[in-house]
A and B are shown apart, each in its own frame.
Chain A
């Protein structure tokens, strides 16, 4: 980052990068798809010729490759991801519009929960360093990092749905259906954030300005929350970008475990059925969201830590 660069220029430059990245991803996946062995209608080889011809025309497969690319990119710019190859009468946009809000809700709840619990647990562990509290918190955190989220989900499912039927095992909508998926999706990130927060808080608490704050006679509570927190939280904030990527990814597994009809479920089914346009549309959407989210995180970061501001 050049010194003296204005925030606007920085944001504009990042947006230019964003467009380039999306363009490269869209182009690469388009050509990958078209050179893939086997078409989307392979299972129905014995279709009458006229029908197959119509189908190919409907999905533009009868045009030249260059033409297909131009049509696809043109539609993409207008936000149209094309028809689904598997669900004949539905467009990718419709499928995403219907299922994405579910995944988004799940992901946002999990990310917020991980942030709040992780930051609190990490701070407490740092303040009570080398005590039983610290040791217990960090052991649980290590466990949380090592356990795959689907395993946590399956264990919760076995205990709280089958052994003690406290929660419904599948579906989405009621608060009861949301508890277990959110918990199992949030667990690994909570653990990671707690470890990050503890290390960073310990580092900050050993700095001279904290000694000064204590010497002024401030309560420990104020020292930690008002003075140390501001600096200690920066690594956690910069982790939120990769965390969002991981939450979106993890959501796919959790949706399968708890039979949630979100975008992740559709994505996996599309990948298994070779529904090219749906797979590609989902990948593009997720890439777009993450690039935007990362940009937002970087801008927020430059506000809380003016040292990195351009």
Chain B
């Protein structure tokens, strides 16, 4: 199949998948709102109004206000910036590690491949998030550490996918041709092999974004992730939970941040699944 036809088939299949399209549209919309928050929201992130504590959702504050009278909707959108940024950064870090590791293992083959994949198998069974917590306990809880640590957790599947592709492609004639022309191993990997597996790599990276966001929410919910004054959807939900008591069920403080996170993850999963199906079918 020619490159052009292949691309068109992929697009056509993807366009037929309605949930994936809706998911994609939702992500674009959410991204736009999050980027434009400072322009479109009448309140600022830290603006306190102690006369309006714990207001339930109203026309003035669509998602209500928190314990310091801050507008929750504004905070949810600002939190989304951090959640999405960590998701994207984590996906990029996992992509770099996974692609590098997988290409080396797959290209080298034989004993090296065996040992490298055995290590991946072992790492799969280990409680990775606990290691992240261990590292964050030691080096401190900063955003930068979080960005890197979460990417480091998620590279295993990417490594497996890239290795599989590598093994499949490395025996093909164009690799032989490149070698005959005197190309070095690293040039063959970077210029000839990797461009031929961009499809699976991009699809899996899309699915990594929600996975990393979920882990960030997990850590932030425990108080081990994003630290105040910054906030993410996970830490907003955790903050909200503290204020819920039998006498004062301020449900909106957990429901809105949680729903923002859940709907975004939902959309990203549909989008990623749709891309994968369009590529594989």
Contacts and interface: CB of A to CB of B under 8 A. Distances in A.
Contact of B127 (A33, A163, A249, A268): A249
Interface in B224-281: 224, 234, 237, 241, 244, 246, 249, 251, 254-255, 258-259, 261-262, 265-266, 269-270
Nearest to B261: A148
B158 interface: no
B198 interface: no
Nearest to A264: B222
Contacts of A303: none
Nearest to B265: A146
B137 A276 contact: yes
Nearest to B222: A268
Interface residues of B, number: 42
Contact of A268 (B140, B214, B223, B251): B223
Interface of A: 17, 21, 25, 29, 32-33, 35-37, 142-143, 145-148, 150-151, 154-155, 157-158, 162-163, 169, 241-242, 245, 248-249, 252-253, 256-257, 267-268, 270-272, 274, 276, 279-280, 282-283, 286-287, 290-291, 293-294
Contacts of A291: 122, 125-126
A252 B122 contact: no
Given A29-B134, A148-B217, A158-B244, 12 more contacts: A25-B126, A36-B137, A146-B265, A148-B265, A150-B258, A154-B241, A154-B254, A154-B255, A249-B129, A249-B130, A283-B134, A294-B125
Given A36-B139, A268-B224, A146 B131 contact: no
Interface string B101-136: 000000000000000000000101111111101111
Q: Which 9 A-B pairs have the closest CB atoms?
A: A146-B266, A151-B258, A36-B138, A294-B125, A146-B265, A162-B249, A271-B137, A286-B127, A154-B254
B87 interface: no
B246 A162 contact: yes
Given A142-B269, A148-B262, A291-B126, A256 B134 contact: no
B237 A150 contact: yes
B218 interface: yes
Given A272-B224, A279-B133, A283-B131, A290 B262 contact: no
B80 interface: no
12 contacts: A29-B134, A36-B139, A142-B269, A146-B210, A148-B214, A148-B261, A148-B265, A151-B237, A154-B255, A155-B255, A158-B249, A245-B125
Contacts of B218: 148, 150, 249, 253
Nearest to B214: A148
B222 A155 contact: no
Contacts of A154: 237, 241, 254-255, 258
A282 B130 contact: yes
B78 interface: no
Contact of B137 (A146, A169, A257, A274): A274
B127 A248 contact: yes
B86 to A, nearest CB: 14
B134 A279 contact: yes
A146 B269 contact: yes
Contacts of B125: 241-242, 245, 290-291, 293-294
B138 A33 contact: yes
B176 to A, nearest CB: 31
Contact of B140 (A37, A146, A267, A293): A37
